[in-house]
Amino acid sequence: MVRTADTARHPALTATMVAMTTTAAPATTPVVGFDQVTKTYGDVRAVDGLSLRLYPGETVALLGPNGAGKSTTLDLLLGLKPADGGTVSLFGTSPREAIVAGRVGAMLQSGGLMDGVTVAELVKLSCSLHPRPYPVSDVLARAGIAAIADRKVDKLSGGQAQRVRFALATAGDSDLIILDEPTTGMDVSARQAFWATMREQADQGRTVLFATHYLEEADAIADRVLVLHRGRLLADGTAAEIKAKAGDRRVSFDLEGAIDETALRGLPFLTSIDVSGQTVRIQSSDADATVHGLYGLGVYPRNLEVAGLGLEQAFVAITAAEEAKQS
């Protein structure tokens, strides 16, 4: 798929994308505008006063653990759910207007497929519903489903169904592509192939927003990462910045005899410590230096383990850091 016209429309695109950071906020209409958006289910604030702007050409990862409010955020963004408070805009209009204008293509986790029809028929339907459709064969080829075009939709594997969803989201010339955990159900190679396809979309100047709970995916694909936790925006920066923030490592070991906690607290780069019985668990922003300091205390740590934080713990680390900053 060649989009020469679009490349001409965004001549400085490649350069911008490389240089793009959160501070590079051009004075154009934002692709996505969230202003103090709130959504509550019963007692749960799924989205809590969320404000954000996305600009043309950005590839943005919406990162967060399960239950962080990613899917709700995308639902609000697409107008599938009404916000309880605040305003949501796409291209300066309502989500529905933007969809009707064919500016948005979206692939939802919860988006089902029509069964009893073939893959090609479904893609053809999607093309015919788009104001600026691509040829069906191109859409099939790009999504990597040309070989299964004649297969019935209800006979697909999870990964194949995801590719069909992707095809539906990219059936026409949209400016914004939204993908909710698109690689769910794909194996590693399918995942890589998928992200290559998606990068093509971004390279054509589209704004791409995808939700994921894999830090690695956000790191590899996105030039901007939004970290969502309990419906609030915790961090907004490049993947490198986020990784640095969540880059703490966990050091754990056992000590014999009385434990001098005060001495341990003085270890370099220590961000938190937890002593239970003979086991000490430390979080450190520089594990090498912390372990080096540990031996400097003259103790003999046993069962020493150094591990990266899981994403879940990384979020806790970022949250703790944010809260410390606020107080």
Q: Of the two residues 97 and 286, which places its CB atom closer to other proteins in the complex?
A: 97
Task: Find the binder of other proteins among 168, 186, 222, 227 (CB under 8 A).
Answer: 168
**Smallest separation, CB 158 to other proteins (Å):** 14
Is 42 one of the binding residues for other proteins (CB under 8 A)? no
Task: Find the binder of other proteins among 100, 196, 240, 263 (CB under 8 A).
Answer: 100
Strand partners, 249: 284, 308
Residues 204 and 59: their CA atoms lie apart, in Å, by 11
Please give the distance of CA 91 from its chain centroid, rounded to a whole number. Answer: 21
Is 121 one of the binding residues for other proteins (CB under 8 A)? yes
Is 225 one of the binding residues for other proteins (CB under 8 A)? no
Is 299 one of the binding residues for other proteins (CB under 8 A)? no
Angle between helices 158-169 and 119-128 (to 10 degrees): 20
**Smallest separation, CB 127 to other proteins (Å):** 9
Residues 51 and 47: their CA atoms lie apart, in Å, by 10
Which region, judged by CB under 8 A, interacts with other proteins, from 29-37, 52-60, 107-115, 192-200?
107-115
What DSSP designation does 240 have? H
**Smallest separation, CB 105 to other proteins (Å):** 8
Which region, judged by CB under 8 A, interacts with other proteins, from 58-66, 118-126, 137-145, 201-209?
118-126
**Smallest separation, CB 25 to other proteins (Å):** 27
Where do the H-state alpha helices sit in the chain?
Answer: 4-9, 13-19, 70-77, 95-100, 119-128, 136-142, 158-169, 188-203, 215-221, 239-245, 261-265, 287-296, 311-326
Q: Of the two residues 183 and 284, which places its CB atom closer to other proteins in the complex?
A: 183
| Contacting residues for 164 by C-beta, under 8 A, at least 6 apart | 113, 119, 122, 123, 143, 145, 153, 156
Residues 53-92 that bind other proteins (CB under 8 A): 78, 80-82
Token pair 């989205």 is found at: 47
Q: Of the two residues 131 and 158, which places its CB atom closer to other proteins in the complex?
A: 131
Instruction: For 175-194, give the DSSP string.
Output: SEEEEESTTTT--HHHHHHH
**Smallest separation, CB 209 to other proteins (Å):** 14
Token pair 């240089």 is found at: 19
Is 298 one of the binding residues for other proteins (CB under 8 A)? no
**Smallest separation, CB 176 to other proteins (Å):** 11
Is 115 one of the binding residues for other proteins (CB under 8 A)? yes
Is 256 one of the binding residues for other proteins (CB under 8 A)? no
- Sign, CA dihedral 240-242-245-246, equals negative
Provide the mask over 197-216, with x wherever binding to other proteins is found by CB under 8 A and - wherever it is not.
Answer: --------------------
**How many residues of this chain bind other proteins (CB under 8 A)?**
31
Residues 234 and 321: their CA atoms lie apart, in Å, by 10
**Smallest separation, CB 82 to other proteins (Å):** 7
Residues 162 and 85: their CA atoms lie apart, in Å, by 32
User: In this structure, what are the phi and psi dihedrals at residue 254, rounded to the nearest 5 degrees?
Assistant: -110, 145
Q: Of the two residues 106 and 186, which places its CB atom closer to other proteins in the complex?
A: 106
Is 104 one of the binding residues for other proteins (CB under 8 A)? yes
Question: For binding to other proteins (CB under 8 A), which residues are involved?
Answer: 78, 80-82, 99-100, 102, 104-106, 108, 110-117, 121-122, 124-126, 128-131, 165, 168-169
